[in-house]
């Protein structure tokens, strides 16, 4: 298959991620209309998102393993079908419990079939410009708040929340299922063991999955990913509320997220280019240090302009760092187990993301201030940086920048 097809894989991954992530993260748009229409509590509806994060974390490992065994295309295709069906079921839920099961367990579980398998697939297609490629896929996912969320808002206003969610299920089916058929296994995997040996002489073909997940480099990457996500999860979920406690109007406070999301688009591209030029490990260590300092800066702001400035820097950094974990995994482990290992890494990240909303709310309820949360988050960021500083690649792998081409 032609060398240029690797960019088709990137485009497919970005589009699949955008639609899937947008479908899941449209829940805040549905929140108030659902509560008003059904009488369900806002807390109960919001809990579906927490359940979805946990389901995504647990399912990532399983979907990743299936993609290694059967290939990326059937896994992504199956996940797209389950996602569409789950949204349709959730749109017709007659009780809060039914909705939490359909949206939380099923939608969250289906999301995991897209992220880790596609990231693993893309890393296998690229020996050059790998950091940029995975960052572009991640950037596609990052476009979800700017595309699917406004569409969901328009649909809710025009047709009510149930019909809107059903329409999004239709969009998922109509777009994601055909795009899934464009996905191909990396040429080295299609060629079998001989292709692996020829395509990547450094590939540790003798390593088993059991050895890989117990190895020091992988354990350190998992731990760094967990603490990295725990660092920004609290600020992501609570900054709008913090801004409102500073006297900033609701609509203006919500716009802070838009600024953060837009900055994240540029961060993914910037970190991807830097990772190819200077090495993913080096860039990620510096990024984790910068993330800790950026999160801490929230403590010193109280006006909208200050929030915009800090949100821009924070969004640029945390969005930029995340794709580089997949690059480091690919640089150090066999291509044949990428789905499993990137799935395990995604699980660690999802578990880290699930800590921030709960702990941030607990800190505010107990202390009446969000400042300790930001200080604690910065501390977690420094822990992530120190863990990654201890990371060492396997002998002969180094941290050399990827070749251009």
- 324-332 and 250-278 are packed helices; what angle lies between their axes, rounded to 10 degrees? 30
Domain final position from 186, 218, 242: 186
Residue 398 lies in a domain: no
Residue 196 pLDDT greater than 60, yes or no: no
pLDDT of residue 205: 59
Considering only residues 126 and 389, tell me which one the structure prediction assigns the higher pLDDT: 389
Give me the count of residues in the chain: 405
pLDDT of residue 204: 59
Considering only residues 180 and 1, tell me which one the structure prediction assigns the higher pLDDT: 180
- Summarised one tens digit per residue, pLDDT across range 3-44 is 788 889 999 999 998 899 888 878 777 877 888 889 888 778
pLDDT of residue 86: 96
On whether both 173 and 213 belong to a single domain, the answer is no
Q: Sorting pLDDT into bands at 50, 70 and 90, what band is 198?
A: very low
Q: Which of 87-91, 101-105, 150-154, 279-283 has the lowest mean pLDDT?
A: 150-154
Which residues have C-beta within 8 Å of that of residue 103, sequence separation ≥ 6?
27, 48, 51, 52, 86, 87, 90, 93
Residue 233 lies in a domain: yes
Q: What is the CATH number of the domain that holds 270?
A: 1.20.1250.20
Residue 72 lies in a domain: yes
Residue 399 lies in a domain: no
Q: Which of 58-62, 124-128, 217-221, 326-330 has the lowest mean pLDDT?
A: 124-128
On whether both 96 and 155 belong to a single domain, the answer is yes
Q: Which of 147-151, 276-280, 319-323, 382-386 has the lowest mean pLDDT?
A: 147-151
Residue 401 lies in a domain: no
Give me the DSSP letters along 131-175: HHHHHHHHHHHHTHHHHHHHHHHHHHHHHHHHHHHHHHHHHHHHH
Structure-token pair, residue 105: 């367990």
Residue 87 lies in a domain: yes
On whether both 214 and 360 belong to a single domain, the answer is yes
Contact in structure between 140 and 17 (CB atoms under 8 Å): yes
Q: Sorting pLDDT into bands at 50, 70 and 90, what band is 144?
A: confident
Structure-token pair, residue 383: 């822990």
Give me the DSSP letters along 57-96: HHHHHHHHHHHHHH-HHHHHHHHHHHHHHHHHHHHT-SSH
Average pLDDT of every residue of the chain: 85
Domain final position from 154, 186, 218: 186
On whether both 94 and 214 belong to a single domain, the answer is no
Q: How far apart are CA 267 and CA 186, in angstroms?
A: 27
On whether both 106 and 210 belong to a single domain, the answer is no
Give the global pTM.
Answer: 0.78
CB atoms within 10 A of CB 36: 10
Handedness of CA 61, 122, 272, 177 (dihedral sign): negative
Residue 356 pLDDT greater than 70, yes or no: yes
Q: How far apart are CA 72 and CA 63, in angstroms?
A: 9
Q: How far apart are CA 125 and CA 98, in angstroms?
A: 40
- Long-range Cβ contact pairs of 96-102 (< 8 A, separation 24 or more): 96/38, 96/40, 96/41, 96/44, 96/45, 99/40, 99/45, 99/48, 100/44, 100/47, 100/48, 100/51
Backbone phi, psi, residue 150, to 5° = -60, -40
Q: Which residue has the tokens 């295309």?
A: 73
On whether both 158 and 239 belong to a single domain, the answer is no
Q: Sorting pLDDT into bands at 50, 70 and 90, what band is 190?
A: low
Q: What's the structural domain count of the chain?
A: 2
HSE at residue 5, side-chain half, CA atoms within 13 A, is 12
pLDDT of residue 397: 54
Query: Three-state DSSP class for 368?
Result: coil
pLDDT of residue 124: 82
User: Among 151, 198, 203, which Cα is nearest to 397's?
Assistant: 203
Residue 264 lies in a domain: yes
On whether both 105 and 213 belong to a single domain, the answer is no
Residue 315 pLDDT greater than 80, yes or no: yes
Q: How far apart are CA 266 and CA 202, in angstroms?
A: 32
Percent helix, strand and coil across the chain, each rounded to 5? Answer: 85, 0, 15
Residue 274 lies in a domain: yes
On whether both 222 and 366 belong to a single domain, the answer is yes
To the nearest 10°, report the CA torsion of 57, 127, 132, 178.
-60
Q: Give the domain extent around 376.
A: 204-389
Domain final position from 153, 186, 219: 186
pLDDT of residue 199: 45
On whether both 182 and 219 belong to a single domain, the answer is no
On whether both 122 and 225 belong to a single domain, the answer is no
> For the CA atoms of the chain, what is the radius of gyration?
20
């Amino acid at each position: 298959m032609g060398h240029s097809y690797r960019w088709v894989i990137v485009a497919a991954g970005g589009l699949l991620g955008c639609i899937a992530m947008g479908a899941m993260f449209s829940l805040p748009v549905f929140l108030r209309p659902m509560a008003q229409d059904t009488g369900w509590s806002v807390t109960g509806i919001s809990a579906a998102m927490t359940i979805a994060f946990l389901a995504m974390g647990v399912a990532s490992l399983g979907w990743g393993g299936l993609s290694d065994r059967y290939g990326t295309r059937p896994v992504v295709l199956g996940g797209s079908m389950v996602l569409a069906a789950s949204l349709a079921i959730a749109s017709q839920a007659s009780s809060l419990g039914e909705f939490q099961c359909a949206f939380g367990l099923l939608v969250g579980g289906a999301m995991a079939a897209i992220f880790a398998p596609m990231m693993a697939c893309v890393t296998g297609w690229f020996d050059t410009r790998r950091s940029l490629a995975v960052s572009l896929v991640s950037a596609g996912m990052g476009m979800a708040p700017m595309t699917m969320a406004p569409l969901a808002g328009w649909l809710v206003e025009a047709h009510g929340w149930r019909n809107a969610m059903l329409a999004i299920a239709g969009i998922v089916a109509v777009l994601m299922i055909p795009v899934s058929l464009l996905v191909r296994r990396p040429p080295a995997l299609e060629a079998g063991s001989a292709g692996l040996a020829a395509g990547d002489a450094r590939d540790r073909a003798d390593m088993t999955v059991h050895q890989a997940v117990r190895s020091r480099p992988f354990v350190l990457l998992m731990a760094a990913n967990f603490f990295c996500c725990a660092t920004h999860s609290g600020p992501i979920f609570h900054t709008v509320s913090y801004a409102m406690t500073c006297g900033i109007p609701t609509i203006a406070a919500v716009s802070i997220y838009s600024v953060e999301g837009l900055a994240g688009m540029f961060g993914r591209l910037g970190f991807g280019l830097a990772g190819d030029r200077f090495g993913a490990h080096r860039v990620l260590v510096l990024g984790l240090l910068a993330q800790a300092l950026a999160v801490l800066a929230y403590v010193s702001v109280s006006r909208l302009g200050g929030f915009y400035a800090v949100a821009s820097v924070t969004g640029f950094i945390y969005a930029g760092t995340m794709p580089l974990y997949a690059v480091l995994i690919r640089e150090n482990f066999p291509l044949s187990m990428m789905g499993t290992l990137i799935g395990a890494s995604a699980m660690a990240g999802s578990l880290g993301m699930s800590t921030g909303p709960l702990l941030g709310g607990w800190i505010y309820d107990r202390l009446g201030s969000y400042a300790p949360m930001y200080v604690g988050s910065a501390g977690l960021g420094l822990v992530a940086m120190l863990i990654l500083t201890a990371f060492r690649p396997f002998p002969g792998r180094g941290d050399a920048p990827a070749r251009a081409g």
